[in-house]
Chain A
Amino acid sequence: MTALIDVQNLTLKFRTDEGLITAVDNVSFSLNKGEVMGLVGESGSGKSVTAKALMHLNAKNAVYSPESRITLHTDKGPVDVLSLKTHRELNIVRGGAVSMIFQEPMASFAPAITIGKQMVEQLQLHGDYSNEKAKRWSIEMLDRVGISDAAKRFDQYAFELSGGMRQRAMIAMALSTQPKLLIADEPTTALDVTIQAQVIDLMKDLVAEFHMGIVFITHDLGVVAQTADKVNVMYLGRMIEEGPVREVIRNPKHPYTQGLLAALPKLDDLDSPLTPVPGDIPSPLERPTGCVFHTRCSKVVGDVCKAVEPTERRIDATHKVSCHIYEEVPA
């Protein structure tokens, strides 16, 4: 397994009128080639901001801490993503080595330009493509993601396609530059279950074929169970649990992960009542002290949760959790 991207001590704050808001707090993780990582958490947990940081794509008011490091391993050697400044440098990462698929495909295509023209434009930005060659490759990509009549679709506008079709076109466009890393931000959330199942299948085939790494952002643990190799759970900007998908789903350690799983309506057990995680995610302006989850946690073990931020504990070689209820074992 070769490393693809390595994130160390990522801390990201946004400068606002109300002061500095912490969006991501000291997060570290890494991803290998051909690996799918599920990034899970509720709205406001910082998962999209983390993913955007991988492309240095956050707004101008984002402040990265000096310790933050994101290293992307490309064919031409490692790239320090956060040190890139000019557009020319950033283009190596954005759309080149890293592509992104968004939740709402209608909002991601320009409405007044044909799908084909947009695909050709980005190919020519990132590679040496003649018009003819770019068109041929784009149609081939559309065909590859299961769009029937690809040559006709090439000349159509986004509004002429159905939701599922648009998301496929989005995937075709993201993959046409043959990225090493694909970031998929809730790519199936706006789709019907039947279409979601098709898109998930498609993405699995593409990982196998192109051997790229995927960061799959979702709040749906069922989708994670179906796609990911490993899972990282975020809450209020902290990475609170990470491990292989089987471990995290069958044997969750953090009370928040346990709560998320308990809140899911399960088809094979209709009699058990639904158990919500109590309360709401706190506003980032009022970050709790100590463990960020203690305001909603049912397993608080005393003042230590309110006062001390839990360090990462290892359950085993790959499964890590940040919670005071587990013994600290020196690594």
Chain B
Amino acid sequence: MSDVLIRAKGLSVGFPIGGGLFNKQILKAVDNVSLDIEKGSFFGLVGESGSGKTTLGRALLKAAPITAGGAHYSDGEVDYDLEKITKDQLRDYRKRAQLIFQDPYAALSPRMTVRDIIAEPLEVMKLTKSRQETDARVREIAAKCRLNLEHLRRFPHAFSGGQRQRISIARALVSAPKFIVADESVAALDVSIQADVLNLLKQIQSDMGLTFLFISHDLSVVAHTCDHVAVMYLGRLVETAPTRKLFAAPRHPYTKALFSAIPSLDPDDRGSAQKLKGEIPSPTNQPSGCKFHTRCPFAIDHCKQVEPKLESDATGHDVACHRWKELMAPQAA
């Protein structure tokens, strides 16, 4: 068994909404999520917009308020309880846990050179003692991300989307983190470039022994890069499994629907997909029982009343659905 780097237990994130003193509502963006991210893994988090995947990622970086439950980070050197983390510990945690954003056009300051953009975390966190040391470190990381010295002198506007994303990656890596949250990091890129950035992330992960939380709505990208996947719906974890297992035999009706919605590359295979009706409900007005029952083609009365628990099995394939066993049965026959 490998070690667990991040362990979330019953983690919830809520935001107060609405004005009044007495009718204050809580929007539960992440609701009672437990998961283990193993050291050195590439952990995928998928779901539609509004499913809470970004908020979960931010909570694990201690950048969103944890309202219930908690999360633990332990990399062998330090051991932090993210709920009770002190100011000093948090400063150290910022070094160890980093974020790569979705939009490489918005994430880079247009008025800083690439060198300054990459060096900024080092200067802010006072990780280097001299300018020479900073420069050496920037050059080392830039080379890892396939940026050359000439690039470092220029401003971000001179770069294409793929190059900008490589700059963002270099900036995230410069403080030598152990844990990286990549939030839709290839979603804004063209397919021809997307593959290049994905390959770079994978290479960096194995070279530097990093752990990734890879947030994406694109299942085919997740299938190719991640070794473990968790599926979220309306703040809940509905299914989690090693990638191969999940893609070979998805158990939750929502996961199945997500798979079948991926447009097939076969022009003769049109409209065979099982389509999901409607849209994800508003998190302020959540359905009772199983959150998915309003869109689920297999929902029965029991689903409307009782919320299913995430059932674990010995192979690490967990699912939260009342009916998954009977729904899987005809397929096996």
Chain A residues close to B by CB (< 8 Å): 42-43, 162-165, 192-198, 200-201, 204, 219-223, 225-226, 228, 245-246, 249-250, 259-261, 263-267, 270, 273-278, 280-281
Q: Is the CB of B49 within 8 A of A192?
A: yes
CA distance A273 to B202 in the complex (A): 11
CA distance A222 to B267 in the complex (A): 9
B219 within 8 A of A: yes
Q: Is the CB of A266 within 8 A of B199?
A: no
CA distance A204 to B276 in the complex (A): 17
Please encode chain B, from 7 to 23, with 1 for each CB lying within 8 Å of some chain A CB and 0 for all others: 00000000000000000
Pick the residue among A222, A223, A276 that contacts B192 (CB under 8 A): A276
B247 within 8 A of A: yes
CA distance A113 to B268 in the complex (A): 43
Q: Is the CB of B275 within 8 A of A197?
A: yes
CA distance A219 to B191 in the complex (A): 8
Counting from the closest, the 6 A-B pairs by CB-CB distance are A222-B263, A276-B196, A277-B192, A276-B195, A42-B190, A274-B195
Which one of A246, A261, A277 has the highest number of Cβ atoms from chain B below 10 Å of its Cβ?
A277
Q: Kindly report which residue of chain B lies nearest to residue A270, judged by CB atoms.
A: B223
Q: Kindly report which residue of chain B lies nearest to residue A163, judged by CB atoms.
A: B49
For chains A and B in complex, what number of residue pairs have CB atoms within 8 angstroms?
Answer: 123
Pick the residue among A165, A204, A260, A267 that contacts B262 (CB under 8 A): A267
Q: Is the CB of B192 within 8 A of A259?
A: yes
Q: Kindly report which residue of chain B lies nearest to residue A218, judged by CB atoms.
A: B263
Q: Is the CB of A263 within 8 A of B247?
A: no
Q: Is the CB of B275 within 8 A of A263?
A: no
Q: Is the CB of B273 within 8 A of A197?
A: yes
A192 cross-chain contacts in B, Cβ below 8 A = 48-49, 217
Pick the residue among A42, A163, A225, A267 that contacts B220 (CB under 8 A): A267
Pick the residue among B223, B243, B264 that contacts A225 (CB under 8 A): B264
Q: Given A192-B49, A193-B217, A275-B195, A264 and B265 touching (CB < 8 A)?
A: yes
Q: Given A193-B219, A194-B48, A280-B163, A226 and B264 touching (CB < 8 A)?
A: yes
Q: Kindly report which residue of chain B lies nearest to residue A245, judged by CB atoms.
A: B267
19 residue pairs from A and B, CB less than 8 Å apart: A43-B190, A192-B48, A194-B275, A196-B263, A197-B261, A201-B271, A201-B275, A204-B271, A220-B191, A221-B191, A222-B265, A225-B265, A225-B267, A226-B263, A260-B192, A265-B218, A276-B196, A277-B192, A280-B162
